[in-house]
Amino acid sequence: MIVTPSDVMWGSVLVAWVAVVTLYFSKLVAKVTNIYVARKTIHMLGGGVVAIVSPFLLSSPLIPIVASYALTAFLLARRKSGKVFSWFQESQDMGEVHFTFSFGTVLLASWVLQPNFWSLDNKFLYVALLPLLYMSFGDGVTGIIRNYVYKRRFKGFWGSVGMFLVSSSLGYALLSIPGFISGVLATLVERVTKLDDNITVPLTSFAFLYLAVKFF
């Protein structure tokens, strides 16, 4: 059974949690900091927390996948209507849309490539989760460091140090040397300015980890 009554209950709880973080808590953060920090707060407390707890609570990744794509569609619709959430959405930056899209896509790709990956004793679960954690916590910490060190959105050295420490540590803890290397790769990819790191970080690190764990 792909979705159980327990999945529906916990899925509803997680959706409600993300809604509270996005619609209320991040608004408070924006009032005392700025839009950028509010967005990173959503990434960590919304996406990051869901990534961590979902394998413990849900029997399959179906609900996070569907919820991610539904949220992507909702955020795009808000943009098209001109009714953006002003405390974290910006007209020139579609990062929050790319974040939710990448979140669902990494999980969906994992499910297609490894149908039984959704188990705590399966290495491919961490192949899926680490890219999401890099995107949520690694990039989140990076952005907050840069916001307070440089007082502007600038891909500077100290932000990358934060990204490296968070990502490489998570990677090594969950998948040893391949995980550590993927954390370094995520840090390097995040430095690229031409593309949104909400796409490049998770997809690049996922591709590397999948190939490394599958063939080496």
Distance CA 72, CA 185 (A): 26
Please give the model's pTM, rounded to 2 decimal places.
0.95
Q: Tell me: the pLDDT tens digits for 137-178? A: 999 999 999 988 987 777 888 999 999 999 999 999 999 999
Rounded to a whole number of angstroms, the CA Rg of the chain reads 17
Mean pLDDT score of the chain: 95
Backbone φ, ψ for residue 51 (5° rounding): -60, -40
Which residue shows structure tokens 């909400």? 198
The span from the CA of 164 to the CA of 142, in Å, is 9
Cα 156-157-158 angle, rounded to 5 deg: 100
**DSSP string covering 4-52, please?**
-HHHHHHHHHHHHHHHHIIIIIHHHHHHHS-HHHHHHHHIIIIIIHHHH
Task: Note the pLDDT tens digit of each residue in 58-113.
Answer: 999 999 999 999 999 999 999 988 888 999 998 888 999 999 999 999 999 999 99
Tokens of 169: 């540590």
